[in-house]
């Protein structure tokens, strides 16, 4: 694949990229290896994509690392994933710090195994002052659960007189979500050929550009990322307006 980086218009970068890192298991299966082998090799892609986004000037990168539905997988795979997360966080925090990258998380992280939860909290604490880019891990995450929890918080605030129901707008609702401190993603990338969003950032991706690739996640490289961003930059984002209205702006 040719070097695509110089074809990217840095003035039209997506501020926030979200990724569904799919295909680790199938990548491993194609090599007659256990699924956990694919997850371990997917770490390299995480590192490459994170570094590439920071180098380009992307402000936010959200990675779908573990969904609530993933607990339904074989316990051996789940335990291996949690162990891998602890090892990866311990190993990569220095890299994040060296590159001025802040680590954050969304999802029901309190329900993660204690060792995993502690490693995540430690990484967040160590990188909290970094400003070059924010890396957000979606862990034990479900968008439907997130929206439902937001509704519960809103109901409580209305009952306690902290919020007038007539003041409830889309903007106010967004402040009750896990992503309250982050802009909505402008580009979502899913690897492995699957073309669905799997309960991921449903509210936030109302106008996100979707990009699907057949590449399995362990094989996803910086060049693949550049290709996705170039594809994004070739699209016309209208947000309900006509092409003529966008051109006139």
Model pLDDT for residues 198-221, shown as the tens digit of each residue = 999 999 999 999 999 999 999 999
**104: which residues sit within 8 A by CB, 6+ positions away?**
124, 134, 135, 136, 137, 182
* Average of per-residue pLDDT values in the chain: 94
> What's the average model confidence in pLDDT over 149-157?
98
Instruction: Say what the pTM is.
Output: 0.93
DSSP 16: E
Q: 52: closest CA among 129, 127, 135?
A: 135
The total number of residues shown for the chain amounts to 249
Q: How far apart are CA 137 and CA 56, in angstroms?
A: 20
Question: Which pLDDT does position 182 carry in this prediction?
Answer: 98
Q: Is 218 exposed, middle or buried (0-12, 13-18, 19+ CB in 10 A)?
A: buried
Could you give the C-alpha distances from 42 to 85, 137, 170, 217, 227, in angstroms and in order? 11, 14, 36, 6, 19
Query: 34: pLDDT confidence band, cut at 50, 70 and 90?
Result: very high
pLDDT (tens digit per residue) in 47-106: 999 999 999 999 999 999 999 999 999 999 999 999 999 999 999 999 999 999 999 999
**15: which residues sit within 8 A by CB, 6+ positions away?**
58, 59, 60, 183, 186
pLDDT (tens digit per residue) in 101-139: 999 999 999 999 999 999 999 999 999 999 999 999 999
- Catalogue the active-site residues: 22, 70
Q: How far apart are the first and last CA of the chain?
A: 36
CB 228 within 8 A of CB 49: no
Q: How far apart are CA 54 and CA 66, in angstroms?
A: 23
């Amino acid at each position: 694949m040719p070097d695509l980086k110089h074809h990217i218009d840095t003035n039209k970068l997506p501020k926030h990229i979200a990724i569904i890192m799919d295909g680790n298991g199938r990548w491993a299966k194609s090599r007659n290896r256990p699924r956990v082998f694919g997850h371990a090799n997917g770490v390299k892609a995480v590192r490459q994509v994170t570094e590439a986004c920071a180098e380009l000037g992307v402000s936010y990168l959200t990675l779908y690392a573990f969904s609530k539905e993933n607990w339904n997988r074989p316990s051996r795979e789940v335990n291996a994933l949690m162990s891998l997360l602890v090892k990866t966080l311990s190993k990569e925090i220095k890299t994040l710090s060296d590159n001025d990258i802040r680590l954050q998380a969304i999802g029901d992280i309190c329900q993660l195994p204690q060792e995993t939860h502690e490693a995540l909290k430690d990484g967040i604490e160590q990188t909290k002052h970094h400003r070059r880019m924010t890396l957000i891990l979606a862990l034990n995450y479900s968008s439907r659960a997130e929206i439902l929890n937001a509704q519960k918080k809103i109901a409580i605030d209305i009952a306690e007189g902290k919020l007038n129901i007539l003041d409830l707008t889309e903007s106010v609702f967004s402040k009750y979500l896990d992503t309250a401190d982050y802009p909505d993603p402008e580009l979502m990338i899913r690897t492995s050929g699957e073309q669905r969003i799997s309960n991921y950032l449903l509210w936030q991706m109302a106008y996100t550009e979707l990009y699907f690739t057949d590449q399995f996640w362990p094989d996803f490289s910086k060049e693949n990322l550049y290709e996705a961003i170039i594809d994004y930059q070739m699209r016309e984002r209208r947000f309900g307006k006509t092409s003529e209205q966008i051109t006139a702006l």
